[in-house]
Amino acid sequence: MARIHFLTGNAGKVDEAVHHLAPLGHDVVQLSIDGIVEPQAEELETVARAKLEQAKAHLPDPNDWLMVEDAGLFVEALDGFPGVYSSYALSTLGCHGLLRLLDHLHSEDLHVEAGLRRAEFRAVAALMTPQGTFIGEGACLGRIAPALDGEGGFGFDPVFIPRDLDLSGQPAEIGVQGEVSTHGRTFAAVDMDLKGKFSHRTEALQDLLAQLGTADEAASAS
Ligand code: IMP
């Protein structure tokens, strides 16, 4: 069991990580460092690994673990934009700008065929340990709404409608009503508990935990 320093300015993310990692005996603490540079890269994993490299010198004890998490909205018709640039795109274009961009690009088709507005949130949770670096990935499939919907949430929530999930938490077939559903509403229009069932961040952390479990089993077998 380890002390995990979570590099983030977002206390909400730390709470979520504590929720998943504390029951396994890990002690998660927030690490704030000024001057971390985000590289220009296409992949969340590249960005996460670059942050780990920059932050590792700041660990108080080299045996401690270091974690970062990065997320973004990837819109299919925009070749994955805003993706790794999601924070910047949110503060410049905003949700309205994203809708205008899509409408401008494929004006009619996009309204006719919801599939052409396909998008997904992706998250990467990267953990550096003395045994190596583990990368967990999560995704939430969905589509961009025709217009802003809802007052809650944050970021691109008002324009993102998640794909329904079946009982096992997998995305339901398009056009098939799933057991977990926002009924066509965006993340900004539903409560946090329901949004949490779709969370790309939770999935990334769980993927990470599964890999740690496998690594632990391998270490104790050898
Ligand atoms: P971060 O890497 O988690 O800070 O996410 C980068 C950007 O992606 C945020 O500023 C948001 O614009 C967007 N984003 C990531 N996850 C979500 C989400 O769950 N809802 C809405 N926007 C999100």
Q: SS3 letters for the chain?
A: CCEEEEECCCHHHHHHHHHHHHHHCCEEEEECCCCCCCCCCCCHHHHHHHHHHHHHHHCCCCCCEEEEEEEEEEEHHHCCCEHHHHHHHHHHCHHHHHHHHHHHHCHHHHHHCHHHHEEEEEEEEEEEECCEEEEEEEEEEEEECCCCCCCCCCCCHHHEEECCECCCCCECCCCCCCCECCCCCCHHHCCHHHHHCCCHHHHHHHHHHHHHHHHHHHHHHC
Dihedral of the CA atoms 178, 95, 125, 138 (nearest 10)?
20
Q: What tokens does 138 get?
A: 């999560």
Contacts of 13 (CB under 8 A, 6+ apart): 6, 69, 201
Regarding the beta carbon of 121 and ligand 1, being less than 6 Å apart is answered: yes
CA gap 162, 203 in Å, rounded: 14
Confidence (pLDDT) at 32: 93
Average pLDDT value for the chain? 90
For residue 218, is pLDDT > 80?
no
| 155, two tokens | 């970021």
Least confident window among 59-63, 115-119, 168-172, 189-193: 115-119
> Using a 6 Å cutoff on CB, does residue 199 contact ligand 1?
no
Whether the per-residue pLDDT at 51 is higher than 50: the answer is: yes
% of the chain with per-residue pLDDT over 70:
93
- Alpha-carbon distance values, 38 to 9, 70, 84, 187 (Å): 14, 11, 9, 27
Query: Is residue 192 pLDDT above 90, yes or no?
Result: no
Instruction: Give yes or no for residue 222 having a pLDDT over 50.
Output: yes
Nearest-angstrom CA–CA distance, 54 and 51: 5
Task: Give the model's pLDDT for residue 12.
Answer: 82
Report, as an integer, the average pLDDT of 53-80.
94
Least reliable range by pLDDT among 72-76, 101-105, 163-167, 199-203? 101-105
Tokens of 185: 């509403």
State the catalytic residues. 70
Window from 91-105, 127-141, 153-167, 208-222 with minimum mean pLDDT: 208-222
Pocket test for ligand 1, best of 84, 121, 124 (most atoms within 8 A of CB): 121
> Mean per-residue pLDDT for 78-104?
94
Please check the confidence at residue 109 and state whether its pLDDT lies above 80.
Answer: no
Query: How far is ligand 1, taken at its centre, from the CA of residue 63, in Å?
Result: 30
Q: How far is the CA of 123 from the centre of ligand 1 (A)?
A: 9
Nearest to 135 by CA among 208, 46, 26, 213: 208
| Confidence check: pLDDT of 221 > 60 | yes
Region 171-184: what's the mean pLDDT? 90
Domain ranges of the chain: 3-221
Q: Is the pLDDT of residue 113 over 70?
A: no
Q: Which of 14, 44, 122, 156 to mutate to test the pocket of ligand 1 (most atoms within 8 A of CB)?
A: 156
CATH for 3-221 (3.30.110.30, 3.40.50.720, 3.90.950.10, 1.10.8.60): 3.90.950.10
Which is nearest to 138 in space by CA: 69, 47, 80, 184? Answer: 69
Q: pTM, whole model, 2 decimals? A: 0.90
Nearest residue CA, atom 10 of ligand 1? Answer: 87
Q: How confident is the model at residue 11 (pLDDT cuts 50, 70, 90)?
A: confident
Confidence of residue 112 (pLDDT cuts 50, 70, 90): very low
In the predicted structure, residue 111 carries a pLDDT above the cut 60: no
Helical pair 11-21 and 200-221, crossing angle rounded to 10 deg:
40
- Centre of ligand 1 from the C-alpha of residue 19, in Å: 19
Give the tokens for residue 49: 């690994």
